[in-house]
Structure 1
Amino acid sequence: MSRNASRGKTETKGPAGQSAGPRASGSRRAGPAAGPSQRQLRVAEEVRHVLAELFTRVEFRDPVLAGVKITVTEVRISPDLRHATAFIARLGQSDVEVFLPALRRATPFLRSQLSHAVKLRGVPDLHFQPDTALDYAMEIDALLRSPIVAKDLGPQE
């Protein structure tokens, strides 16, 4: 019996019969560069749907948030599912930073609503950040359409 087998680990054999090391289970990943797990992605998308629905259907008591249309573009959740960062935007507007303090004040209410809609052991702490991806994309598009770049991209001989 091999040393690893006596400790309860199974080893896999490579194509030539060499030991390929302990068998990797589906839940283990190769460090932080591997990206979010399927569970993280699934929970984050569910949280995004619930928050988006809350922002469209609920009238907030906070006068800063009353009547404001906020879009939740993405939610990223920590590996332990305890912290969720929601990226928010207002379509056609770039003044979303004004609403961040009001959203922090509304976080306990949003977490309570989230706890009713999402079946998890613990509801993640919500953090809000402005989504600048659309602004960045529009900036890049404007650069690509500029006359200087168009001259470089013109017909070549």
Structure 2
Amino acid sequence: MAKNKFNDGAPSQRQLRVGELIRRALSEVLARGDVHDAELNRLSITVGEVRTSPDLRIATCYVLPLGGKGKEDVLKLLAKNMGELRRLVSKKTALKHSPEFRFRLDETFDRMDETERLLNQDVVRRDIDG
């Protein structure tokens, strides 16, 4: 697929739409406990974002367990059940091709906490308040 000269490497509308479709379906599958893995079904996992490759063949899923505990275990469990997750999500989304899933930790919340901590420092507050 040729690169759009206007998007400068930013995801296309199609990538964003498919990513959100996959995020919702994956969230639902995990919330309902549809996977045949009792260990995975015991966990509450947030799917913060799904980014797809330009050809929509790879979906990188940014996840975080509730409370942020056991992050590495969650990644291992998701990777172990990737085939079933992919099949279940594919059924819900009716996409022509089921993308390969890659699971990564969603660090958005950590970055937000760090930003808030920085903004609340006395030196920064003086600069902001003026």
Q: CA deviation at 1:98?
A: 2.5
Give yes or no for contact 1:44–1:75 (8 Å, CA) kept in 2: yes
Partner Cα separation in structure 2 for residue 67 and residue 59 of structure 1? 11
Q: Figure out how many residues of one structure are paired with residues of the other and give that number.
A: 129
> Which structure has the greater CA radius of gyration?
1
Q: Looking at both structures, which has the greater relative contact order when contacts are Cα pairs under 8 Å and sequence separation is at least 6?
A: 2
Q: Which moved more, 1:42-51 or 1:32-41?
A: 32-41
- Among 73, 76, 83, the alignment partner of 1:98 is 73
Q: Which amino acid aligns with 2:30?
A: F
Task: Confirm or deny that 1:41 pairs with 2:16.
Answer: yes
Cross-structure match for 2:115: 140
Q: List gaps (5 residues or longer) in structure 1.
A: 1-26
Structure 1 vs Structure 2 CA RMSD: 2.2
| Helix, strand or coil at the partner of 1:127 | strand
On the 8 A contact 2:86/2:101 being kept in 1, the answer is yes
Once the two structures are superposed, residues 111-140 of structure 1 have per-residue CA deviations (whole angstroms, 9 ceiling, x without a partner) of 110221122221000111001011111111
The residue number in structure 1 matching 2:102 is 127
Pairwise CA distance, 1:28: 5.9
**Equivalent-residue separation in structure 1 for 2:31 and 2:58 (angstroms):** 23
Higher helix share: 2
Misfit runs of 4+, over 3 Å: 59-64, 151-154
The TM-score, its normalising length taken from structure 1, stands at 0.72
User: Which whole-Å CA distance do the structure 2 matches of 1:64 and 1:32 have between them?
Assistant: 42
- After superposition, the Cα gap between the structure-2 partners of 1:110 and 1:144, relative to the gap in structure 1 and judged at 3 Å, is same
Q: Percent identity?
A: 36
SS, match of residue 121 in structure 1:
coil
When residues 58 and 91 of structure 1 are mapped into structure 2, their CA distance, relative to the original with a 3 A threshold, is closer
Corresponding position of 2:46: 71
Q: Structure 2: 5+ residue runs without aligned partners?
A: none
1:50 aligned partner: 25
Normalization by structure 2: what TM-score?
0.86
Structure 1 stretch displaced more, 88-97 or 63-72: 88-97
1:114 aligns with 2:60: no
